[in-house]
């Protein structure tokens, strides 16, 4: 039987989340800690390949791996031809332009004629071109943020998450240019058999994502108010209504979206609902 080979980061910011995603999808990927290159999953026709993140786009483009999990920033920087099968919602970060705190900043044109240090020269080239800025790019492989301090560059273009590393090097983030997150990528010419395995994996990932953004809600409603309360609950089809020992009351069960949740709770209480319970959903198949 065909097996699907998926490359994930061996050790780094995306490793734990990638393994966790497979575990939730019922695929054991936990050999990572033993640093094996391959982990054959006994319960799904998938093999996991542990690599440095920088090597993942090319491996998938070449077909050495069929699919992979990597940050969009790495795909853009390497410029490899791969297809994004799913955005995964973790590993979120942004690529920003930062300058010395004491510089006299007057907008993007400040960067004209300046020297900018980065580990992302290709993304920076595009960002500069898109904004009609003419600057020198200084490629460096690590510790980009110390470049302005030691006089190697006037500014930097780098991944920023909190800004505290910048601050401790006397820099401030001035322009947020690109947002990135982890994505599941695939080879552009997968065989039908492999695509079928990938589709099964994607089906499971969709169920995990849907569950994450929804909550199961249970509440007690006075029968007299039931219609008003049901109108507030969208649910997957329509809410379940169960009898209670006290015949003036019923129990109502439904699903609400996480982002609409607090608004709905307030309205439900105002409509007479009591004993509201909200519980996480493990998987959700629509
Ligand atoms: P490798 O050893 O695999 O080459 P790395 O050091 O290049 O690892 P990590 O620092 O582990 O990479 O980051 C992996 C990815 O995590 C980044 O490419 C980016 O997409 C994402 N990421 C999310 N937040 C951050 C952050 N604050 N700093 C750096 N990367 C981040
Ligand atoms: Zn890397």
Q: Is the CB of 159 under 6 A from ligand 1?
A: yes
The pair phi, psi for residue 122, each rounded to 5°, is -70, -40
Model pLDDT, residue 34 = 56
For the chain, list the domains and their CATH numbers.
Answer: 4-91+181-211 (3.40.190.10), 93-179 (3.40.190.10), 214-280 (3.30.70.120)
Return left, alpha or beta for 213; rule: phi > 0 is left, psi -120 to 50 is alpha, else beta: alpha
* Residue corresponding to tokens 């003419």: 134
Going by CA atoms, what residue is nearest to atom 6 of ligand 1? 12
Stretch 43-48: mean pLDDT: 85
Give the Å distance between the CA of 152 and the centre of ligand 1. 23
Confidence at residue 106, expressed as pLDDT on a 0 to 100 scale: 95
> Which atom from ligand 1 is nearest to the alpha carbon of 161?
27
Residue 126 burial (10 A CB sphere; 0-12, 13-18, 19+): middle
The three-state secondary structure class of 262 is helix
**Beta pairing class for 214-222 and 274-280:** antiparallel
Q: Is the dihedral of CA 271, 272, 278, 284 positive or negative?
A: negative
Pocket test for ligand 1, best of 7, 10, 11, 12 (most atoms within 8 A of CB): 12
Phi then psi for 134, rounded to 5 degrees? -110, 100
Torsion angle defined by CA atoms of residues 12, 91, 256 and 263, in that order, rounded to the nearest 10 degrees: 120
Question: Which ligand has an atom closest to residue 70 CA?
Answer: 1
Give residue-wise pLDDT tens across range 75-112: 999 999 999 999 999 999 999 999 999 999 999 999 99
Average pLDDT in the chain: 92
Q: What confidence score (pLDDT) does residue 234 get?
A: 76
Q: Residue 110 carries which DSSP code? A: G
Question: Residues 134-179: pLDDT tens digits?
Answer: 999 999 998 899 999 999 999 999 999 777 889 999 999 999 999 9
Q: Give me ligand 1 centre to Cα 199, in Å.
A: 27
- Compute the average pLDDT of residues 119-128: 98
Distance CA 248, CA 162 (A): 53
At residue 215's C-alpha, the angle toward residues 209 and 220, to 5°, is: 165
Give the Å distance between the CA of 15 and the centre of ligand 1: 10
Query: Cα–Cα distance between 277 and 215 in angstroms, integer?
Result: 10
More confident residue, 218 or 41: 218
CA distance 3 to 159: 35
pTM: 0.89
Whole-number Cα distances in Å, 90 to 23, 26, 50, 71, 99: 15, 19, 18, 9, 27
Residue 202 · residue 185 · CB < 8 Å:
no
257 lines ligand 1 (CB under 6 A): no
Q: How far is CA 76 from CA 124, 166, 246, in A?
A: 10, 23, 61
- The pLDDT assigned to 238 comes to 82
**Residue 73 CB less than 6 A away from ligand 1:** yes
- Is the CB of 74 inside a 6 Å radius of any atom of ligand 1? yes
**Cα-to-centroid distance, 252 and ligand 2 (Å):** 50
Contact 128, 135 (CB under 8 A): yes
Q: How far is the CA of 28 from the centre of ligand 2 (A)?
A: 24
């Amino acid at each position: 039987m065909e097996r699907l080979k998926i490359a994930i980061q061996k050790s780094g910011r995306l490793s734990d989340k990638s393994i966790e995603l497979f575990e939730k999808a019922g695929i054991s990927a936990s050999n990572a800690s033993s640093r094996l290159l391959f982990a054959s999953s006994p319960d799904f026709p998938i093999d996991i390949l542990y690599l440095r993140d920088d090597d993942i786009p090319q491996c998938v483009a070449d077909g050495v791996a069929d699919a992979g999990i990597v940050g969009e920033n790495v795909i853009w920087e390497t410029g490899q031809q791969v297809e994004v099968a799913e955005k995964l919602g973790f590993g979120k970060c942004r690529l920003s332009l930062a300058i010395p705190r004491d510089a006299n900043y007057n907008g993007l044109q400040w960067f004209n004629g300046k020297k900018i240090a980065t580990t992302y020269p290709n993304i920076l080239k595009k960002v500069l071109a898109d904004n009609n800025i003419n600057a020198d790019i200084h490629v460096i492989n690590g510790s980009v943020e110390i470049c302005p301090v030691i006089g190697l560059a006037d500014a930097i273009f780098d991944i920023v998450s909190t800004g505290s590393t910048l601050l401790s090097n006397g820099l401030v983030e001035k322009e947020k240019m690109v947002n990135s997150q982890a994505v599941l990528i695939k080879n552009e010419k997968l065989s039908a058999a492999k695509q079928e395995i990938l589709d099964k994996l994607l089906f499971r990932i969709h169920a995990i994502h849907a569950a994450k953004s929804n909550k199961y809600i249970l509440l007690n409603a006075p029968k007299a108010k039931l219609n008003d309360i049901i109108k507030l609950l969208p649910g997957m089809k329509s809410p379940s209504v169960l009898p209670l020992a006290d015949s003036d009351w019923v129990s109502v069960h439904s699903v609400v979206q996480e982002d609409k949740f607090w608004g709905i709770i307030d309205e439900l209480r105002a409509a007479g609902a009591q004993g509201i319970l909200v519980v996480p959903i493990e998987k959700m198949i629509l």
